[in-house]
Each structure stands twice: as C-alpha cells, then as structure tokens.
Chain A
Amino acid sequence: MNDNSNSPDQFGQQIDNTVNEYKASAEKLVQANTYQEKEDALYTMHYVHAEDRKAGVKTLQIATDKKEVINLRVKALQIIGNYLYNNPAAVKKIIGLLSATRENTKVKRAALDALLAIRFASPALLSQMPAFREGLRSIIHDRDPELAAKAIEQLAAYNDPGVLNLLHEGLKNPAVALAPEAKAIQLLGIQHTGGFSDTIRERLQKSRDTDVQIEAIHALSGDPAAQDDIQNILENKSKQKYVRLAGLSALNATAPHKFLESAKKIIGDPSDYNDVKVASLNAIAMQGRYNEISGDAEFLDQVKSLTGHDNAIVRKESSNFLAGHESYLENA
C-alpha cells in the first residue's frame, strides 16, 4: 500500500473541504462591497460554479462595470468561464466588452480569453455566434497587437472571407499587412481552396525568412503545383535544416514517389545533415515502403554503411531500418 495515496475517506474529506472553501469564498464575494473585500474573495476563488447564480451575477457585474478597478475586472473575467458556459445573456455582455469603443485593453484581452476558452462547445456562445464574430471583427485592427492577433486567428479559423482577403492583401503589400508574413501564410493555409496558393508559392520562392518558408511549405503541402519547389528545397543542402524537414514532410504527403527519389539522394550523400537523413529513413520505414526499396541494392548498401556512422542516432535508426527490411523480407 502506498503511504502517499489517499483513502476514500480522505479523498471525500478533501472534496468536502474544497466545496466548503468555495461556498465560503462565493458567499464572501456576494457580500463584498469594498475593493479589498472583492479582491479577497476573487483571488481565493479559482472559478465560479455554473449553477451559482448569485456569485455569477456578482462576478459578471464586477467584470462589466467600468467603474471597477481593472485588475478586479480582469480577475473576474478569468474565473467566470464556467458560469458563462450555459448562460447566453452573460455571454452577450462579455461579447459587448470586445466591441466597446472605450474599453480597457487588459479587460478586452481577458474577455476574449474567457470567450475563446469556451468556444468549442458552449451552447451559450454558439447561440451568440453572429454577435461573437462581429465582436471579433471589431478588434482586428485594435491597437493592441495581441488582441488583434487572437481575433484574426479565430476569424481565419472560421474561414471569414473578409479577414482572409485582408491577410492575402497583406502578403502582396506589407504596408497594409494585418499580421506578420509567416502568421498570415499559416492562417491562409487553413483554407486550401481559398485561392491563395499562387501568392504563397511566390513568397516561398522569394522570401529568405525561415519562418515564412516553413509556413509556406506547410500551406502548400497539398498543392501539386508546388511539388517541384518543395523537392528542390528538400534537396538543397544550403537551406536551413528545419525548412528542409518541413519540405520532407510536405513532399512525403503530397508526392510520395518524388519524396523517395529525394530521400535516396539524401541518405546516400555523406555530406548531408544527419537529422535530415534520419527523418528520411524514418519516413520510409514508418510508412512500410520497404517493397519500393527492396530491389535497390545500392540504396540498401548505403543504409548498411550508415550503421557504422559516427553519429549514434544515425547508427541506431539505420539499424532499425535494416531490421524492418529484414522483417519485411521474411513476411513477404
């Protein structure tokens, strides 16, 4: 018996304590009038119970009252999630904070975080979705970049045509960019049917920014027109390692045969990066493509030679690869 484990009685006692603590804090919050009383109550609570109407109303009141101290309002918004979950009227008020013109930035951020925390399944937020989207649209140009970025990201996830077009425009004209280039490409890549492939392909060819290249490769991983570009990047030893690894993943997904051609070259090249070699070997092995390399004696010799490589990971992965191949031959 583990001495540290709780007995059922002890566990039950802990729950009782937690419930009692919550009740005491919630009661304190409901009766709080001064700043200090409210602060004491809010900072001892981790959440407002969904069914606790009195505490919920009080928390909502603190969160939405512009006369309250900002820190208290932010704290109230941080703990109100459970209460919001099933309460459309409360959600509506929090959404109202987003689009309020003279609202404090910290409050807006906390309001957005509270809404994003419940966005996946909250019936109350789903019933307010048009208003929520409008609220998000109202802050995409907010002077607080963090707030704007979160709103843009969420709207892009909803395939909001207005935001996607603005992001697209920003790629062509950085002066009107809504988000940094890499972020814009990442968000535009969510919708592969958005008609942004040509622009992203152009950025992949022209940009020297590693993040931009990686995001562009991810965004273009399903685009047949980008296969050659991605293959060139994968085989280009002067490219940054992580860019090439992104290319490896994308090419393997979209053009497995082209990937195999490149992988053989990489594995057979003593001067290539070990990480890229190992990733290439793993990609072939993980997909069980031994049948495609089984007849290639030269390639198998190259893998065998890697079992004596200086790098321990290369040695281990090449041995695993050959063991997998042996197993394939036995079962074939």
Chain B
Amino acid sequence: MIRNAQVAMLKESHPVYTGKSEGEVIRIKGDLMAGFHHNLPIKALPYILEELQSARHPYLIASAAYALRGLKTPLPQTVPYLLKAAGNLAHGDDTFFFDQDEHTTALKELFKTIKWHGAYAKAYIANVTALSDKLYLDREGKKLLKEAINAINGDARQTGNCCDEDLFCGGNIKPFGGIKKIKSLVLEDQEGGQIKYGEFFNGKPAVLVFFYSRCDNPDKCSLTITRLAHLQKQLEGKAKIAAITYDAEYDVAHRLKNYGLNRQIKFNNDVRFFRVNADFEQLRAYLDLGVNYIGPYVNKHTIELYVLNSKGEAVASFSRLQWENQEVINKVNSLLNSKKTTTAQSFYSILLSAGMAFFPKCPLCVMAYLSAFGISGMNALWVGNWLFPAMMVLFGINILVLAMRCRTNRFFLPLYLSCTGVVILIGDHLLLHEKAVTMAGLICILAGALTNAWGRRLQQMFGFGLVSA
C-alpha cells in the first residue's frame, strides 16, 4: 500500500507538487526515488528511467541511479539510460548525502550502479569504457569507472535478455474518457486564429504533443518539438499535427510560431501549435497530463505524445521516455487502416440494408415479386431444376420458425395453414401443374403468415381459440 502510494507520488500531476517551487519539487522527487534504494517496484521504473534520460539536476540523477540498485535483478536495458545521464551531468555535478556518513555525487552513483549491473552491462562495455574519454573525470572518478569496467568484465554470471516490460515497448495506452467536454474547448493557434478542439481534431488521425517555450531542459520541450518536426516529415500529411503549450499565459501566438519555426516545423492548416486560454484543466483531466504548477509557472512536467483518432479521441500515449517515431507512425497507420476497414464495413452494411429493404418480408411482398417476375417473363425460372429444391429449403425454414413461434404463443393455426400451403404447392408441382392450385397453395401460405402476424389480435377481437392448444 505504502509502496503504491510512493509510486503514485512520482507522477508530476500529484497534488504534493502543486504550488511547490522547482527546488522543492526536485527535493521531494529525489527523496522519493532515493527511498526505493532497497526495493524498487517495477511500476516505478519508468519514472526512474525518465529522470536518467532527461533530468539535468544532479540530485535527480543521483537519486535515480541510487534507486535503480533497488531492483531485485539488474536489467541490461537500463544501462543506456545510465550512460545518457552521465552525459547530462556535463552541466555540473554536486554533493549529496544518502548515507549519513558518506557524501556522494551523481557521477559516483551512476558508476556504482553500472558496477552493480556487472555482467548485465556486458552488452554496453564499449560505451562504458568510452566514458573515460567523453566525461571530465578527476582521479576518483577515473578510479570508480575502472572499478565498474572491472566488475562488468569480471562477472561470470549468465544473463538472459530479461525484459518483457511495457516500458521498453512504447505506445502504452491509457484509459480515456470524457471527450464530449473538451470538444468545445477553444484553441488559439500560432497565428492568433481560434478553432474548437472538436473542429481541428476531426476527420483525420492526429499526433498531439505538449510543451512550453520557457522549458529550460533541452532534453524535454525543445527536443520534443524538434522530433515532432522530424515526425511531420515522416508522416507526409497522413495525420494532423498539433502541439499545445502548458504555459498559455506566456506562450502567446508569436512565441508559439517562433518556437515551432526555429525547430523546423512547417505550419499549415493541419499542422498547428495552440494555447488554451480557458478551461485547460478539462484537457489536463481528460489526458491526465503529466504537469504541475506553482502559480502560473510550470514546476514539473514530463514528455508526452498522444495519438488521436479521427474523432479527436486519444487512443494511445507515449509518455515519460522519448518516443520512437516509427512506433508513432505505426499507430497512425493502424488508425488509417482501421478507417479503411470501417469504410468497407459500411459498404457491405449498405448492401445488406438494401437487400433487406428489397427482401420480401410478407406474403404480399412475395405476391408483388411474383407478379413482377410474371410481367418480366421470369416465371420461366419456376421450371428451373434448381429453384424447386431452393424453395423447399426456404419453406422448411419458414415452417420451422413458425413451429417455434406457434409453440411459444400456444396458437398453431399459422403453422397448419402454412403446412397446408406447402403440401398443396408440392402436390401441384409434382402431379397437377394447375395455376389455380398453385395460387391456392400460395394463399394458404399467405394466410399462415397473416394469422401468425395478427393471430393474437384476431383471438382478442373475435375470441376464437380455434386450434389453439
């Protein structure tokens, strides 16, 4: 229970972060992550990896690396995140205390965690070794790195490729609801024009990301928009593309436009950046956005991309870790294909409806069709060898259905009339070949259908219980 509550607190939108300064948010989140040092639940892993991938603050990096050692078994797939975090530290490390007696730094924690991986980091030994050239290491740093390399090389444990967790597969889908409320949400685009959510996100699948121009982390908003521009090229107009700012107060139209243009976004009617001037909370609630605020300022946010269907409903999200473009394209393609399937289904559905409309639904219809066949000379078909057995099958089905219905209604007159009609028709076809007899048979069948439809009413009207069981 407590573990689950701690994991829930890692999410940016948790109320604990509301109104807190960025410094306080870093401290709370860092403390929470460090608390997982002895037991890191797998649910918390995406949050840890997110910080390793994109955090710049040394305390967040240190505590994420420290927490990773709380996994029961090392995961080889986490090593690239540790390497990325080491690169992010080029902006400056700092000193912390996790144990009362010993001070540590983010770089020390990263090297200790790589060392802890041992054989599980073997696939990345070349990248780990290359750190000595890429990073600015003092004597102690070099010593720790050497220890990590030795631990990897000297570990004889057999490791499998052990990960079947969703976080490595991307495209995680969250439950969504309440689209109706946000359809009327007014969006203001990078030209200052206004359009409703339901109008823009309509008719085509869409890719939607969130960002804000004051974000000072180059691995978050700036990279998100740069990657979105790349995605725009790859999607080739198959989907609408939108970016909505978390910071509507500051990101006025010209800032939205410049931010996009500077990152190679090509704006057009289907590619726009927006701010939501009122009721952003509705959108935030609908998508369960990973953002929190201190007053008007964003104090913490995650990376998030949503794929929307042609009705503007979110059907997939790629959050926390930077998405793979191909995964997003696959999702858009699957939406486009399902749209084609839906179109095909609609076509067959129309055909079926038309068939149903023209299908003889009562004896009068049958009579009308027979008359039409007679006029057009199609009565010749009657003598066809195939038609008689087909008619027998249909009669059989008719009688079977009538029998079941009559048994339910405990009123058997329709069944008897239909059976009589069928017997007459068969007799006529095999022996007599008289039109008058054929008509008599058809009239009996018609009477059976009519009494089946109105039998109850006839009973009530005239009170006869004839042949009722």
Contact = CB atoms under 8 A, between A and B. Distances in A.
Contacts of A133: 92, 94-95
A89 interface: yes
Contacts, number: 75
B23 A129 contact: no
A215 B50 CA distance: 36
A254 B250 contact: yes
Nearest to A137: B95
B435 interface: no
A192 B139 contact: no
B138 A88 contact: yes
Contacts of A192: 214, 297
Interface string B12-51: 0000000111111011000000000000000000000000
A195 B20 contact: yes
A272 interface: no
A131 B105 CA distance: 10
Interface stretch (A63-71, A170-178, A218-226, A308-316): A218-226
A105 interface: no
Interface stretch (A20-28, A35-43, A120-128, A320-328): A120-128
Contacts of B137: 88, 127
Interface in A192-207: 192-197
Nearest to A158: B92
A88 B20 CA distance: 37
B388 to A, nearest CB: 83
A222 B212 CA distance: 13
B22 A92 contact: no
B34 to A, nearest CB: 16
A194 B23 contact: yes
A133 B249 CA distance: 35
Contact of A193 (B21, B94, B249, B252): B21
Contacts of A165: 23
Contacts of B87: none
A117 to B, nearest CB: 17
Given A89-B139, A127-B136, A161-B27, A195 B294 contact: yes
Nearest to A165: B23
B133 to A, nearest CB: 11
Interface string B53-96: 00001100000000000000000000000000000001011110
Best-surrounded residue of A124, A127, A224, A225 (most CB of chain B within 10 A): A127
Contacts of B23: 159, 161, 164-165, 191, 194-195
A8 interface: no
Interface string B347-371: 0000000000000000000000000
Interface string B77-119: 0000000000000101111000000000100000000000000
Given A127-B137, A193-B294, A195-B20, 17 more contacts: A88-B138, A88-B139, A126-B92, A127-B135, A128-B138, A130-B93, A133-B92, A158-B92, A159-B22, A192-B214, A193-B299, A194-B21, A194-B23, A195-B19, A195-B294, A224-B250, A225-B295
12 contacts: A88-B137, A89-B139, A126-B136, A127-B135, A127-B137, A129-B92, A130-B94, A131-B95, A161-B27, A193-B22, A195-B21, A223-B296
Interface of B: 19-24, 26-27, 57-58, 90, 92-95, 105, 135-139, 141, 214, 249-250, 252, 294-299
Interface of A: 88-89, 92, 123-124, 126-131, 133-134, 158-159, 161, 164-165, 191-197, 222-225, 254, 256
